[in-house]
Amino acid sequence: MARLPAVLGTDDLPLAELCAARIDGELFHIDDAWAPIDEPDLPSLRAAVVARRAPRALIIERLSAAWVHGALDAPPEVAQFCVPHEARVAVVSARAAVVREVSIGDDEVVRHDGIACTDDVRTAFDLLRDPTIGDEPVEQVLARMIGARDGFAGRVRDRLADAHRLPHRARAFERLGRAETAVRVEGRLRAEFAREPSSARFGRR
């Protein structure tokens, strides 16, 4: 059997064939797409999955970008995209995707097999300032990003500090601070757990 593309949809194969291949163990369902069972779960795969929601080339951002970067276990129900202001694309909101215009530099975008996505710092910068997303989910995403990247919190803090006339600045710094605290607390708990004798850890006498 020929090697399947990394990401498949109903424009590649009929739904019945995709479902049959999943039952046979050849494919797995991921968001609105299917992928070969042996396809590695990499940012490039996730970006390709999200990009299927876009009508054309857009930049993956906010929670969708957080999923691409590995900071969420599942993609958001509504995919989030952006375009630079100069692209002159009207804000779009639909069931499967939302698109907005933003000020963004080329150095804030990474590409996975040609698919554009905000880099990790820009993703954090956008989420911290977003009043439409609750504090808890934002801080959980940030905590995962901080825990997985050395010096990440400092880079995000610098990005916030360098922005001029930044809406929701105070809230962004508060969220970042709470995420940093959560990472420190988790680190202390892990260290204390590791120091405990195995007999105490597992309730042995």
Q: Which residues contact 173 (CB under 8 A, 6 or more apart)?
A: 128, 157, 160
Can you tell me the distance from the alpha carbon of 80 to that of 53, in angstroms, rounded to the nearest whole number?
9
For residue 69, what are its two tokens? 């970067």
Task: Write the single-letter amino acid at 92.
Answer: V
* Higher per-residue pLDDT: 112 or 95: 112
Sign of CA dihedral 149, 107, 174, 161: positive
Rounded CA-CA distance 121/134 in Å is 19
Residue 111 pairs with which residues in a beta bridge?
A: 116
* Rounded Cα–Cα distance for residues 37 and 155 (Å): 36
Q: List, for residues 113-172, the tens digit of each pLDDT value.
A: 999 999 999 999 999 999 999 999 999 999 999 999 999 999 999 999 998 888 888 999
* CA dist list (Å): 74 to 63, 68, 79: 10, 9, 11
Q: Is the dihedral of CA 132, 133, 139, 144 positive or negative?
A: negative
Nearest residue to 48 (alpha-carbon basis) of 25, 24, 75, 26: 75
In this predicted structure, the answer to whether residue 88 has a pLDDT above a threshold of 80 is: no
CA–CA distance, 109 with 167 (Å, rounded to integer): 21
Q: 29: pLDDT confidence band, cut at 50, 70 and 90?
A: confident
pLDDT of residue 136: 96
What's the full length of the chain, in residues? 205
CA angle 54, 59, 62 (to 5 degrees): 100
SS3 (DSSP) at 130: coil
Which pTM value belongs to this model? 0.85
Q: Poorest-confidence range of 24-33, 49-58, 68-77, 85-94?
A: 85-94
